[in-house]
Amino acid sequence: MTDASFSRAEIEQIIVLERLHLYNRGIPCAARAIRQLLEQEGVRPLPSISTLKRILSRNYLTHGRTGYYPGDDGEEWL
């Protein structure tokens, strides 16, 4: 990929997909690793590490997690 400009929503989708791609292959998938990958792929605007962390948190993709699960919000599983 060469330098390409994306909307915020598109960048968030790219980050989520890249995070899951890295995680599923057992490759380090923290915000720094994702930022380096986005930089190599020419994604623009390139989000900061703190922005990447917020996006991962908002999408429940932190601490080895792969997404939202029922009960995450304090409700019981059915």
This prediction has a pTM of: 0.80
d(CA 70, CA 20): 19
Q: What per-residue confidence (pLDDT) applies to 1?
A: 52
H-helix or E-strand spanning residue 52? helix 49-58
- CA distances (Å), 1 to each of 42, 43, 52, 55, in order? 6, 8, 20, 22
d(CA 13, CA 9): 6
Q: What per-residue confidence (pLDDT) applies to 74?
A: 61
Give the start-to-end residue ranges of the domains of the chain.
4-58
Question: For residue 2, is pLDDT > 80?
Answer: no
Q: What per-residue confidence (pLDDT) applies to 75?
A: 58
Question: For residue 55, is pLDDT > 70?
Answer: yes
For 5-42, the pLDDT digits (tens) are 999 999 999 999 999 999 999 999 999 999 999 999 99
